[in-house]
């Protein structure tokens, strides 16, 4: 089977039109009340590797549903008007997710260059995932 467009092309096209923060830029945003880091990895990845302090967990498979105010799955965090910095393990999923949210019209969406792997390897702060009974909600 020959695809008309592979994952590499999808990622390249997404990255050409989304905002990307370098590790240094993202570290400078950590703790800002105007910024919400959004971890789109699977819950098993969070439990195994930890996450960026203060990040909101929004699994990639539910992201568009959580962002849309008309969805029964909508999460208030996405109506906050904050800058959203998405990240995954290696910045592939977050590239595609940032492009999708931009297409949906969510303002101020970016992603983290190199993903969580690069963040952790750089010595940036990491915390263990907090467990919430009914979804991960920022407090």
In a domain, 139, yes or no: no
**Low-confidence residues of the chain: pLDDT under 70:** 131-139
- The predicted model scores a pTM of 0.91
The domain that contains 67 carries what CATH number?
3.40.250.10
Range of the domain at 46: 12-121
In a domain, 2, yes or no: no
In a domain, 21, yes or no: yes
pLDDT of residue 130: 73
Specify the number of domains making up the chain. Answer: 1
pLDDT of residue 132: 56
pLDDT of residue 139: 37
pLDDT of residue 1: 86
In a domain, 35, yes or no: yes
Strand boundaries in 40-128, DSSP class E:
56-57, 83-87, 109-112
Q: What string of DSSP letters covers 52-73?
A: -TTPEE--GGGHHHHH-TTSTT
Give the whole-angstrom CA distance, residue 61 versus residue 23: 25
Tally: H helices and E strands in the chain = 6, 5
In a domain, 110, yes or no: yes
pLDDT of residue 4: 95
């Amino acid at each position: 089977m020959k695809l008309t467009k592979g994952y590499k092309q999808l990622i390249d096209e997404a990255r050409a039109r989304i905002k990307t923060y370098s590790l240094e830029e993202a570290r400078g945003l950590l703790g800002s009340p105007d910024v919400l880091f959004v971890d789109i990895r699977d819950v098993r990845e969070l439990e195994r590797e930890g996450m960026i302090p203060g990040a909101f967990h929004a699994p990639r498979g539910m992201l568009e549903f959580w962002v849309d105010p008309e969805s029964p799955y909508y999460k208030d965090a996405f109506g906050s008007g904050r800058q959203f910095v998405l990240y995954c393990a290696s910045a592939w999923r977050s590239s595609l997710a940032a492009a999708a949210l931009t297409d949906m019209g969510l303002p101020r969406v970016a992603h983290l260059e190199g993903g969580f792997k690069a963040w952790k390897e750089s010595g940036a702060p990491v915390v263990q995932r907090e467990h919430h009974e009914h979804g991960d909600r920022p407090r």
